[in-house]
Each structure stands twice: as C-alpha cells, then as structure tokens.
Structure 1
Amino acid sequence: MMQELHFPMGGHRFRPALEDVLEMLIDEFGIDNDQNAREALKRGRLVWRQTQTKSAVRDDPESAVEVLRGLGYDVTWRGQGSEPESRVDRLQAL
C-alpha cells in the first residue's frame, strides 16, 4: 500500500522541510492559505536550510573546505588536535 512505502529523499540532511510540503499542498491542491503564508513558508525554509547546511558542513568538513577555497576563501585549521574527518557513515546513510 502507498502509505507503507518509504521514499528516501536526501539522507539525514536534505529531506524536504515541512514548509516544502505545505507549499506543495497550496500549489497542487489549492489549499486555502493566509495572504502572508508564502512569505512565512519562505522564511521557515530559509532557517531550515541554513541549519541543515551547517549540519552538513559538520558531517563533511573536507568538502566544505574544498568549496570555500574554490570560492577564494583562506581556510586554515586552528582547532586543537588533528582536523576533523568527514563522517562517511552519515554521508552514506539512507
């Protein structure tokens, strides 16, 4: 049955936000909404994605450093001990 299916959608970090589902209901099914609803959904989605981006960087700091350096940032490890490694277990999880 359809309700028993699990649709994998991006692992731990990149699943749709509640705001995505609510906006889909408005767009696809014409659900009534307040005139400020879409702006509130955009704000909520922004906060969700910023939080998820920060968490993704913690899971894969090596890729984050690579991208930041590619953008021209000077990224230098200044923490104690050795640089944190990417959490491959988190990146591979369904």
Structure 2
Amino acid sequence: MEVKIEGRQVEIGDELRDRIQKYFDNLDQRFGPLTHGRISVERKAHNNEQRASVKTVVNVAGKTISATKESSTVLAAVNETLDTLTEELLTHAEKSKKSHR
C-alpha cells in the first residue's frame, strides 16, 4: 500500500514516519486491501496557542474513509486520528459483512 506522509509547518522525523508506516501496514493487513493512504500533519497557532491538526484519508475498495483530530501535541493528534481511523474501518468492515449475508 502506498502511504503519503505530509508535514505542514512541522518536520516529520524518521521515528514518527516509521511509526505511521507500520500502523498503516497493520491496517492494510487487518482491513485490506487498502489501495492508498495519506496523512497530513499541520501545526498551527490559534489565539497564541500551538495546536497540531492531523487528517488521514484511506481508500478502501469502493469507499474513501477519513479522520481528522486536533490536539496540543503532534504525537497525541496522530495517535487520536489513527485510533479514529481504525474505528471507522471497523465500522466499514462490519457493514460490509452484514450486506453480504
């Protein structure tokens, strides 16, 4: 699966990049085949407060699933977004199983 990792106003280090890639690989094994994944990490200032916003988009056969979260740190925002994405994929998988019965 192809995964595109973007950083806006923030540097994505090798450790975070590897962690994200492993997570997407795990999702591909559990819910695959996933055709494409993209994660965008952005740091922004809002009312003199630093915030991190993360958006993920995954293409599954016939559907696009996305999740967006915002937190005070990049790592927390990434973790929350990936957890939400996993929940969305679980919901999609359950709906697919019910429609095939």
Instruction: Give your verdict on TM over 0.5.
Output: no
TM-score (norm 1): 0.34
Larger of the two Rg values belongs to structure: 1
TM-score (norm 2): 0.32
Higher helix share: 1
Higher strand share: 2
- Structure with the bigger RCO (C-alpha within 8 Å, sep 6+) is 1
